[in-house]
Amino acid sequence: QVRLVESGGGLVQAGGSLRLSCLDSGRTFSSYTMGWFRQAPGKEREFVAAINWSGGSTYYADSVKGRFTISRDNAKNTMYLQMNTLKPEDTAVYCCAATRNVGVDTRESQYRYWGQGTQVTVSS
């Protein structure tokens, strides 16, 4: 069973940084490809970044490439999203998700397990 809990969100000024964490309280974290998605007010949820089971393969949305870094520590059952040079348009609820698919996957429909999300607000 995969149970995902995000943390690390908050309020930050534009240009600042935050690091989000996603903890899986289950026992099979290392078996899953993991992803981060976000949903801004009035908008559809969108893909942010994904990482394969080993951490050896990552993929980013163009909007965050070069500013965000996804990583994972399988020994701690935790995935991270380091967010630098934050912009007001990064304001959203950020959710982590898990899929059994091999390799990174950007498709929301392929992720079976989801966390509740953590709010990130970037002020201008």
- 99: helix, strand or coil: strand
Count how many residues are written for the chain: 124
- For residue 47, which amino acid is it? F
Q: 68 and 82 in contact (C-beta within 8 Å)?
A: yes
- pLDDT given at position 46: 98
Q: 117 and 55 in contact (C-beta within 8 Å)?
A: no
- pLDDT given at position 28: 87
Residues of the chain scoring pLDDT < 70:
none
- pLDDT given at position 121: 98
The rounded distance, in Å, linking the Cα atoms of 102 and 111 is 12
CB count in 10 Å sphere of residue 86: 22
